[in-house]
Amino acid sequence: MLNIYAQTYSGFDYAMIDELLTEEQINIRQSIRAWINRDIISHIEDWAQNATFHPEIMQQLGQMGCLGPHIPKEYGGGGLDTITYGIIMQELERADSGIRSCASVQSSLVMYPIWKFGSEQQKQKFLPLLSTGEYIGSFGLTEPNHGSNPNGMECRVKKVQGGYLLNGNKMWITNSPICHLAVVWAKDENNYVIGLIVERAMQGFSTPTIHEKWSLRTSITGELVFQDVFIPEENILPNAKGLKAPLSCLSSARYGISWGAIGAAMDCLHSALEYSKDRYQFDKPLAAFQLTQKRLAEFITEITQAQLLSFRIGQLINSGKATPAQISMAKRNNVEMALRIARESRQICGAMGITGAFPMMRHAMNLESVITYEGTHEVHLLITGMDITGINAF
Amino acid sequence: MKFLVCISLVPDTTTKISFVDNDTKFNNDKVQWILNPYDEWYALVRALELKEANGGTVTVVNVGPAANDQVIRKALAIGADDAIRIDGSDDLDSYGIAANIAAVAKEGAYDLVLLGKETISYNGSNIGGMVAEILGQPFISYATSLDLNGNTAKISREIEGGKEIVEANAPFVLSAAKGMAEQRIPNMKGIMQAKTKPLKVVPATATPTLTSTVKYELPPAKAAVKLISPDNVEELVTLLHNEAKVI
Ligand SMILES: Cc1cc2nc3c(=O)[nH]c(=O)nc-3n(C[C@H](O)[C@H](O)[C@H](O)COP(=O)(O)OP(=O)(O)OC[C@H]3O[C@@H](n4cnc5c(N)ncnc54)[C@H](O)[C@@H]3O)c2cc1C
Ligand SMILES: Cc1cc2nc3c(=O)[nH]c(=O)nc-3n(C[C@H](O)[C@H](O)[C@H](O)COP(=O)(O)OP(=O)(O)OC[C@H]3O[C@@H](n4cnc5c(N)ncnc54)[C@H](O)[C@@H]3O)c2cc1C
């Protein structure tokens, strides 16, 4: 399926934020866009329509430098700042949230905890392999009975000689069916959350696929099932202390999502804007109708607001000042913005908009997952509410 | 082997083209510049492949103002070892550009000078021949493949209805066409390394201006569409014959 406007995509920069970016940041954006335009965009509709995941994408992401861009170079990462990380996520999600999810999970939910909480030996063993995409990682926090409230998790470890025995289930895990390793969160005998690296070859570990998703169809999702899996001591993340540890990974990923959503929104705006100038009804281009302009004008306004928010949060993370609540606000606001733009820009394209010749339906379906994972829309609202009132309303 | 690859900057293909100074100058305002694809995708990438296989260095050279540095760095990000910018104004004609490139090529004693078969902006195809002439070296144009065995190169050229295989000994100048290599997109590592690779600026030497642009013209604007009623085939045929002159 051919998206006729894909190759002319050049993003939107109404507030001239590019002036605040460095030359490298702009060059990196151009490179990723060139790669997406050459190797991804002409296949993405087919991949989504047929719900096929292409694991070789992981190596391509690694080759481009999209896996662990904010991890230090000595471990195979890019050593780049968080704004650059955001820019990368934006370009990837402009193509598809599924592709961005692969890069987010690997970078923020697998490499980041190993780097932040792992031993030197774990970092040296796993991070370089993860940064090239040779190894695919997954992140197991959510369980069948515990999503928004991970503190209720039922996954358990029991101390045995030389390590731990792990039992339980994780569900809705991106890349689990193809992962070489999983960073898994479980409670020990004192009800204390610890982090473990579970490797594919370990006895009692399996990863069934979840089928028939209407969303993120270019990304593979599954379960992690542990039946008396022996985890040697050397696979415990020594510095992960309590639930705070996985939550800090989520902050990093959520921040990236706040940029990613802008990419999806800009892709929708681009297609709708171009189509509205090309398509004539009542002897006028659709863009000449006030109702169309209202939509387009609101889209660019909302996108610009989202850009300013993410850019500023990126600066705050760079200077070590960002709070998780600020990141929640950016994730929540920007994903909802993107979802609304995806739905409404689809309407501008009339019947054509329901086909794979346009990206909106795919983005809209994808964003239904994005608005749910990494903290649901409601959960982030409650985080903001708690932040300004001081009262926990969960 | 020492490779010198000439890279020029061209407007991005989505640029809206306009002219200033009584239509004698291209309007640079708000233009997004990119590397000329024939230089970048074919000449540069093939030089890098040959360097990777046989050793050597790849230097890129551009004639132009300091504003070009950002785009020149892209060539470094793709993998060139160093860059030379000949600090010349946009006003140099082809001869001036060629003479300056030839001077750099001579000074650095490069074994091969590669460039794209043409720029996608002016489509001049004349720098390569001039550089070769000034250097007193052979010029092989429109090459679609280049293989090296020591100092001897085997080159195929696309010719009308077929292929020509040419052999030549270095040093020589070659212009690259589609097929010579595949585009390489710089990755993040390359982009970061490019920051620290040398980009030397040398002054341009004055050359006589042999040609100058008197006027640019845009293609005529598309005329309004004429609608002919379907039952008036005769008029349609007449118009196609007399006005459009296509039948
Ligand atoms: C495609 C996909 C990929 C995913 N990948 C991963 C992954 O790689 N790793 C991982 O660990 N997880 C992953 N997830 C899981 C995701 O993080 C969870 O789906 C999410 O946390 C929500 O949990 P839940 O689905 O169990 O919903 P629930 O927690 O059951 O929530 C259902 C609804 O109730 C609302 N709700 C819950 N509590 C409250 C409250 N106190 N007040 C008001 N409303 C409330 C929620 O906002 C939501 O609307 C993925 C999910 C999807 C869809
Ligand atoms: C699955 C499907 C099945 C269908 N089945 C049939 C069928 O059986 N028979 C049939 O005849 N048709 C059918 N249709 C066509 C359907 O009726 C048209 O899609 C619909 O009339 C809209 O026309 P359009 O798609 O050309 O959009 P357009 O007319 O191009 O409209 C595009 C957008 O511009 C807006 N717009 C248009 N004009 C104005 C204006 N003046 N001011 C403000 N906004 C404006 C529209 O509201 C829309 O948002 C089907 C469509 C679909 C998707």
Is A113 an interface residue toward B (CB < 8 Å)?
A: no
Examine the pLDDT at A58 and tell me if it is beyond 70: yes
* Predicted pLDDT at B221: 82
Q: For B70-85, what is the mean pLDDT?
A: 96
Å from B241 to nearest chain A CA? 30
Examine the pLDDT at A250 and tell me if it is beyond 80: yes
Count Cβ atoms below 10 Å from residue B113 Cβ, excluding itself. Answer: 31
Examine the pLDDT at B89 and tell me if it is beyond 80: no
* Predicted pLDDT at A3: 81
Examine the pLDDT at A138 and tell me if it is beyond 80: yes
Å from A229 to nearest chain B CA? 38
Indicate yes or no: CB of B186 within 8 angstroms of CB of A27.
Answer: yes
Chain B, nearest residue to A84 by Cα: B188
- C-beta contacts of B120-125 below 8 A and 24+ residues apart: B120/B10, B120/B13, B120/B36, B120/B37, B120/B38, B121/B10, B121/B11, B121/B36, B124/B94, B125/B175
* Predicted pLDDT at B220: 85
| A374: annotated active-site residue | yes
Is A8 an interface residue toward B (CB < 8 Å)?
A: yes
Chain A, nearest residue to B12 by Cα: A8
What CATH number is given for A137-235 in this structure?
2.40.110.10
Q: Which ligand is nearest to the CA of A182?
A: 1
* Predicted pLDDT at A1: 60
When pLDDT is cut at 50, 70 and 90, the band that residue B227 belongs to is confident
Examine the pLDDT at B91 and tell me if it is beyond 80: no
Q: Which of A93-102, A344-353, B235-244 is predicted least confidently?
A: B235-244
- Mean pLDDT in chain A? 96
When pLDDT is cut at 50, 70 and 90, the band that residue A131 belongs to is very high
Is A64 an interface residue toward B (CB < 8 Å)?
A: yes
Which residue lies with its CA nearest to atom 16 of ligand 1? A373
Examine the pLDDT at A201 and tell me if it is beyond 90: yes
Examine the pLDDT at B243 and tell me if it is beyond 80: yes
Interface confidence (ipTM) of the complex: 0.82
Whole-angstrom Cα distance, residue A15 to residue A195?
42
- Domain ranges in chain B are 2-214
Examine the pLDDT at A352 and tell me if it is beyond 70: yes
A contacts of B191 (beta carbons < 8 Å): 24, 27-28, 31
* Predicted pLDDT at A2: 72
Q: Rounded to the nearest whole angstrom, what is the distance from the C-alpha of residue A349 to the centroid of ligand 2?
A: 8
* Predicted pLDDT at A130: 98
Highest CATH level, class, for B2-214: alpha beta
In percent, the amount of chain A with pLDDT more than 70 equals 100
- C-beta contacts of B105-111 below 8 A and 24+ residues apart: B105/B4, B105/B61, B105/B131, B105/B135, B106/B135, B108/B2, B108/B4, B108/B59, B109/B2, B110/B2, B110/B3, B110/B4, B110/B59, B110/B171, B111/B1, B111/B2, B111/B3, B111/B56, B111/B151, B111/B170, B111/B171
Indicate yes or no: CB of A27 within 8 angstroms of CB of B189.
Answer: no
Q: For A249-278, what is the mean pLDDT?
A: 96
Q: For A19-37, what is the mean pLDDT?
A: 94
Residues 33-62 of A with CB under 8 A from B: 34-35, 38
- Domain ranges in chain A are 6-132, 137-235, 244-389
In percent, the amount of chain B with pLDDT more than 90 equals 80
Å from B118 to nearest chain A CA? 22
A291 CB within 6 A, ligand 2: yes
**DSSP code for B124:** -
Size of the A and B interface in Cβ pairs below 8 Å: 42
Question: Of A154, A368, A374, A378, which residue is the catalytic one?
Answer: A374
Highest CATH level, class, for A6-132: mainly alpha
Q: For A278-287, what is the mean pLDDT?
A: 96
Chain B, nearest residue to A77 by Cα: B189
Is A31 an interface residue toward B (CB < 8 Å)?
A: yes
Measured from the Cα of A393, ligand 1's closest atom is 41
A contacts of B67 (beta carbons < 8 Å): none
When pLDDT is cut at 50, 70 and 90, the band that residue A96 belongs to is very high
Q: Which residue has the higher pLDDT, A135 or B159?
A: A135
Residues forming beta bridges with residue B167, ordered by sequence position: B154
Q: Which of A194-203, A329-338, B216-225, B236-245 is predicted least confidently?
A: B216-225
The CATH number of domain A244-389 is 1.20.140.10? yes
